[in-house]
Structure 1
Amino acid sequence: MNFRHLIRALVALAPFLGQPIMPASALAAEITDVAGRTVTLDLPAKRVLVGEARQIHTIAALAGSHTFDTIVGWRDDFLTKDPDSYQAYVERFPKIADLPRFGYVPNGSFSLEAAIALHPDVLTLNIEAKTAAEESGLEEKAAAAGIQVVYVDFRVDPDKNTENSITILGKIFGDEDKAQELIAYRRAQITRVTDRLAAVKDLKRPLVYMERAPGNDAEGGCCRTFGPANFGEMVEKAGGHNIGSDVIKTTFGSLSIEQLIAVNPDQIIATGSNWAAESKTNRFVHVGRGADPIKAREKLQTLMERTGFEGLKAVQEGNVHAVWHQFYGAPYEFVPIQQFAKWFHPELFKDLDPQQTFREFHEKFLPVTYKPGYFVSLEKGRQ
């Protein structure tokens, strides 16, 4: 007797057993997403539409060599905003070059009709797309077509939502045990820093300015930064003080050059990536998988020559760095936390090797190989 026949037999026997027996469709599971919405779908999902392709950084840590077994389409951001990582995955999974790509829900370039044609069970969206999805009626239209929308978040409030988001994706992709393993690994790597800092009496925290994607906006632009979440929170966990949090209470915001000069930070960290596909100025710092550190350092030096930067303490003393921007949307923040700690407190963390941590993480969780290039610093004393 197969499973379907067994269910039918149990349903027929229900009146005699004294308990109601639910049909097979009731075996579907409920997921409560980071927006607090409860959706019901069969798990693991058989056909997944990935609403932000950079979610692959998490999905791959859960599914490994099976990462793309159930993905039927994805947003185009992996190719345009993180092409170095995209290339690594194309080399490992050549067929994904032909995966259907979609636009972004908040700017209206996402085509629900094209998505429906792929018959997905679920669409995974980042939480920042929720307002646009509600206003456009996307959630209701997708549900009417049999597609459940599930929100995750690794960017807006990662401290609150990262572990839940990992758990949700673990359910969708059918490896809840791996999700818990990833959560435990991430926690352990962060506490390697936070526990040591907690043991320091009267810790002196350097003033840190985190600049968000300089050189990828406009010629000479300044000074986009982070509030108390995301990279701002990473700075605090690494033993620094994020100056953006003193002014900005949301995840992202801006300072004026006058505010920056007045604070005169001890450390400057710029985020960078390979934005060649979309940048109009090409002044960004290209860091990331396999990036050239010499070219990255040259770009970082050029950014520090903008008006107002030359006299800053961090620039004068050579405490200027760049970090891979895409750490801000993946549960890999333990790597920059470790690197920041070494920059802020070099003696306290001289035995810590963030690059080895990330290499180990690749070997333990990811189906692609590790290549360095995620950080760069100016030489001490260079102006």
Structure 2
Amino acid sequence: MALRSLLTLVLGIATFAGSLEAKVTVINDVLDRQVEVDLPAKRVILGFYAEDYMAIGTEKAFDNVVGLSRDTWEGWRPASWNLYTEYRPSLKDIPDIGEIEAQTFSIEKILSLKPTVILLADWQYQGLGTDVGRLEEAGIPIVVVDYNAQTLDRHIKSTQLIGQLTGQEKRAKEIADDYQQTIESTLETIQASNLPKPRTYVEFANKGPEQYSFTFGKNMWGALITMLGGDNIAAPFVEWWGPMNPEQVLASKPEVVFLSGTESGIEGNALPMGQGIDRKLAISRLKGFTQRPGWTHMPAVENNRVFGLYHGASRTILDASMVQFMAKSMYPSLFKDVNPEQNYLDFYKKYLPVTPMGTFTVNITE
């Protein structure tokens, strides 16, 4: 009888411990959807924002990632993928669930992995369409986060949600508070200055000077220009993202130009920015864009106010430093003591297991 009682006690303790490990919680995602999730999440499908998930949830959070939309990391930012997989080779073993925009996203693959939660970007959730219903019918909760909108509210909310999913609420609060303080103090400085709105143009410079590529209206870099009190010249012509008529760009006479690039820009004449990119090469390519027809008479070019940004540092909780760089470029008299690129690298040193080396912001006058 004593042995039986002891076994019952042990089983009871084990059951109680298990209930502490996983607790059904109702959370509200960025779309204000109420979602029931076992927390902390044990079997996670990760659609996007891999660095954010690791920074907020710690590297250990990836022990519970059972599926990954690999193309959104390896395909879009191969140098970043290589940096992380050299440090942690097991990332390569996480099953690939495909990518929504490429129409390779596999519901069947997700179901086979038996996840307890799927974490998707807002644009991924919207892109799934009716397939959302198939996942919900299977009883798999979907939590939506959104750093693409580039708004303070959604950045903070998304960070808090990842903190909840990974059981890292305290760490998430620290990261969110630091982000909020940086953004709000930057905006307060701009607003107090009463300086005029600089006419600003931004372009993803992935096609080289010969062809105009995407600019941004309401989201990503475009949203940041507006938040910083700039006059985004693309806003009347491009709602979200898309190319702007070259003649309209010239007619708008931008006073500040930002060109964003990635590591893949090293090919051809595109703007290379990011991990492993030589600074001199980035500056040389940046200058090449100023030779576009009509650009030599553009106010931004005449006054050497043409800047390069790392495209991979947008739509992430790491982009506070990019906000600082844009603010410093748009209002040079206000932020002389701020070192945005160093702040970007310092975030890695504090919250991530790797630190990239390369070129992440650049000024044409360097």
Structure 1, unmatched stretches of 5+, are 10-22
Structural mapping, 1:45-56, within 5 Å: 45-52=41-48, 55-56=49-50
Instruction: Give me the whole-angstrom Cα distance separating, in 1, the residues matched to 2:65 and 2:305.
Output: 43
Give SS of 2:66's match. strand
Aligned equivalent of 1:222: 212
Aligned equivalent of 1:68: 62
Aligned residues: 356
Aligned-pair identity in percent equals 27
- Residues 1:162 and 2:155 aligned together: yes
Distance 1:192 1:91, change over 3 A: farther
* CA deviation map 1:255-284 (0-9, x unaligned): 2112111111111101111236xx9x7432
Kept in 1, the 8 Å contact 2:273–2:359? The answer is yes
* CA deviation map 1:187-229 (0-9, x unaligned): 11223322222221x3123211011x2234x882225211143
Instruction: Give me the whole-angstrom Cα distance separating, in 2, the residues matched to 1:81 and 1:120.
Output: 25
Distance 1:157 1:296, change over 3 A: closer
Distance 1:323 1:142, change over 3 A: same
Instruction: Give me the whole-angstrom Cα distance separating, in 1, the residues matched to 2:10 and 2:300.
Output: 67
Kept in 2, the 8 Å contact 1:239–1:341? The answer is no
Instruction: Give me the whole-angstrom Cα distance separating, in 1, the residues matched to 2:127 and 2:165.
Output: 23
Kept in 1, the 8 Å contact 2:341–2:361? The answer is no
- Residues 1:265 and 2:250 aligned together: no
- Residues 1:304 and 2:283 aligned together: no
Deviation at 1:310, TM superposition (A): 3.3
Structural mapping, 1:133-152, within 5 Å: 133-135=128-130, 138-152=131-145
Instruction: Give me the whole-angstrom Cα distance separating, in 1, the residues matched to 2:276 and 2:15.
Output: 57
Structural mapping, 1:175-324, within 5 Å: 175-200=168-193, 202-211=194-203, 213-216=204-207, 220-222=210-212, 224-248=214-238, 250-275=239-264, 282-324=268-310
Structural mapping, 1:289-368, within 5 Å: 289-368=275-354
Instruction: Give me the whole-angstrom Cα distance separating, in 2, the residues matched to 1:209 and 1:252.
Output: 13
Kept in 2, the 8 Å contact 1:289–1:370? The answer is yes
Task: Name the TM-score, length of structure 2 as normaliser.
Answer: 0.88
Kept in 2, the 8 Å contact 1:215–1:221? The answer is no
Q: CA RMSD in A?
A: 2.8
Give SS of 1:244's match. coil
- Residues 1:81 and 2:88 aligned together: no
Deviation at 1:3, TM superposition (A): 8.8
Match of 2:12 among 5, 10, 31: 5
Distance 1:132 1:357, change over 3 A: closer
Deviation at 1:372, TM superposition (A): 4.3
Structure 2, unmatched stretches of 5+, are 1-7
Instruction: Give me the whole-angstrom Cα distance separating, in 1, the residues matched to 2:21 and 2:134.
Output: 22
Deviation at 1:370, TM superposition (A): 4.4
Aligned equivalent of 2:3: none
Kept in 2, the 8 Å contact 1:273–1:288? The answer is yes
Aligned equivalent of 2:117: 122
